[in-house]
């Protein structure tokens, strides 16, 4: 039997890995959607762009669905509180993700300029909005979310509003997320397309990589000096079950850098993020597309783990009542639940990874205008 404290940390790592998995796979789908109006000019080029992800985008959503399910099972308090605080933002993201499959399936059904133009716009919005909102959500987590738990009932009360989520720091974090996924989508298009689309994708990758570097540096400086971080002052033993209100929490500027000071190896994460983006920018003109994609994937992982390392052990800090903040230690399910799910993940995650690798191997190769014209009724 794995001890409870270790299981809590392991599940923090599992969910981080699932988020990285979605960013690396489903992330380039969103990026391609956001790039659609810019890299593709003619209808044939737009169909090439969509078909570059057409064979894999549905399977890539497994990572997002699994991450959501894992959060529900492992961190029930986080799941419930997030849907209370981020309800409008999550609903907007859900609508965008619903529009994407409809757009993929219906765009090619009617050969009419307005019909296809409307679905092109829908796919652009459906790629851009979730990418932006994911970053805005992380930006708000770093600042603290306005909620509190009632000591008697443990009911959660959210005291903020949707528009308050769109604050300057959160928007900078949104730019980080959008630039990161657009860069990733552009590197994927370099692999799967050729000629003019590939040239435009190279230019887009370079612009997105530079934007990511600038936004990431701004967000880092802002996190260090402009917003308050959090730290746990006291709590029951980490290997026991306790409610969030059983701990005391301090909040002050600069505290999000505490983990990096105590564990300098964590600087590898921001180094990976910046190094990966610099590599993509450097290779954008004529570098190997596959290497650019790998560097972009490293940058995605670096960005996500940078945020995770900074916040650990916090998952959802509270700006209204610091003691209500949710952490790895007090927001989790029972030890039995975590242990059962642990073995499910140990068995299923390698299967998902193997299946994903097999699909990408089978579907490798470039999508060309010639292929699109020869397969009018079977392509998007």
What is the token pair recorded at 322? 């610091």
Q: Phi first, then psi: what are they for 42, rounded to 5°?
A: -85, 170
Say how far residue 18 (Cα) sits from the centre of its chain.
Answer: 9
User: By the 8 A CB rule, do 33 and 128 touch?
Assistant: yes
Q: What does the pLDDT look like over 284-340, one tens digit per residue?
A: 988 899 999 999 999 999 999 999 999 999 999 999 989 999 999 999 999 999 999
> What residues contact 66, with CB distance under 8 A and at least 6 apart?
18, 352
As a whole number of angstroms, the distance between CA 237 and CA 235 comes to: 7
As a whole number of angstroms, the distance between CA 302 and CA 180 comes to: 11
DSSP-assigned beta bridge partners for residue 314 = 327
Q: What does the pLDDT look like over 150-181, one tens digit per residue?
A: 888 888 888 877 788 889 999 999 999 999 99
As a whole number of angstroms, the distance between CA 57 and CA 31 comes to: 11
pTM of the model: 0.93
**Spans in the chain with pLDDT lower than 70:** 376-379
Q: Got the DSSP string for 127-155?
A: HHHHHHHHHHHHHHHHH-B-EEE-TTT--
As a whole number of angstroms, the distance between CA 155 and CA 58 comes to: 37
Per DSSP, the three-state class of 169 is helix
User: By the 8 A CB rule, do 355 and 363 touch?
Assistant: no
Residue 14: its H or E element: helix 4-24
Mutual orientation of helices 195-225 and 26-39 as an angle, nearest 10°?
120
Whole-number pLDDT of residue 376: 67
Whole-number pLDDT of residue 378: 62
Could you tell me where the beta strands, DSSP code E, fall in the chain? Answer: 147-149, 156-158, 228-234, 248-253, 314-316, 326-327
As a whole number of angstroms, the distance between CA 139 and CA 73 comes to: 24
Q: Phi first, then psi: what are they for 144, rounded to 5°?
A: 100, 140
Whole-angstrom CA distances from 186 to 52, 77, 112 are 11, 37, 27
């Amino acid at each position: 039997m794995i001890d409870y404290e270790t299981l809590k940390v392991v599940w923090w790592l599992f969910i981080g890995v699932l988020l990285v998995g979605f960013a690396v796979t489903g992330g380039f789908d969103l990026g391609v959607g956001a790039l659609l109006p810019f890299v593709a000019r003619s209808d044939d080029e737009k169909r090439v762009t969509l078909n570059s992800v057409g064979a894999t985008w549905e399977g890539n959503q497994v990572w997002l669905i699994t991450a959501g399910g894992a959060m529900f099972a492992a961190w029930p308090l986080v799941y419930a509180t997030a849907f209370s605080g981020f309800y409008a933002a999550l609903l907007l993201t859900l609508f965008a993700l619903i529009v994407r499959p409809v757009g993929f399936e219906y765009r090619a059904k009617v050969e009419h300029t307005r019909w296809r133009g409307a679905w092109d716009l829908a796919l652009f919005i459906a790629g851009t909005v979730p990418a932006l909102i994911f970053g805005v959500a992380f930006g708000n987590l770093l600042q603290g979310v306005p909620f509190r738990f009632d000591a008697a009932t443990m009911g959660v009360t959210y005291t903020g509003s949707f528009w308050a989520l769109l604050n300057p720091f959160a928007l900078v974090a949104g730019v980080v997320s959008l630039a990161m996924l657009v860069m990733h989508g552009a590197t994927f298009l370099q692999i799967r397309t050729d000629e003019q689309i590939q040239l435009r994708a190279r230019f887009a990758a370079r612009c997105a990589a530079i934007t990511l570097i600038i936004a990431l540096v701004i967000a880092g400086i802002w996190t260090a000096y402009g917003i308050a971080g959090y730290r746990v002052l006291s709590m029951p033993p980490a290997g026991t079950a306790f409610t969030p209100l059983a701990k005391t929490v301090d909040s002050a500027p600069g505290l999000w850098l505490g983990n990096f000071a105590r564990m300098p190896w964590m600087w590898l994460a921001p180094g990976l993020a910046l190094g990966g983006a610099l590599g993509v920018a450097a290779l954008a003109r004529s570098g190997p597309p596959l290497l650019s994609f790998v560097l972009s994937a490293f940058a995605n992982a670096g960005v996500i783990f940078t945020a995770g390392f900074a916040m650990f052990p916090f998952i959802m800090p509270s700006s209204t009542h610091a003691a209500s903040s949710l952490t790895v230690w007090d927001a989790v399910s029972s030890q039995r639940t975590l242990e059962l799910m642990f073995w499910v993940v140990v068995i299923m995650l390698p299967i998902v990874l193997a299946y994903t690798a097999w699909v990408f191997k089978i579907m490798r190769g470039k999508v060309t205008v010639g292929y699109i014209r020869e397969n009018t009724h079977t392509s998007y």
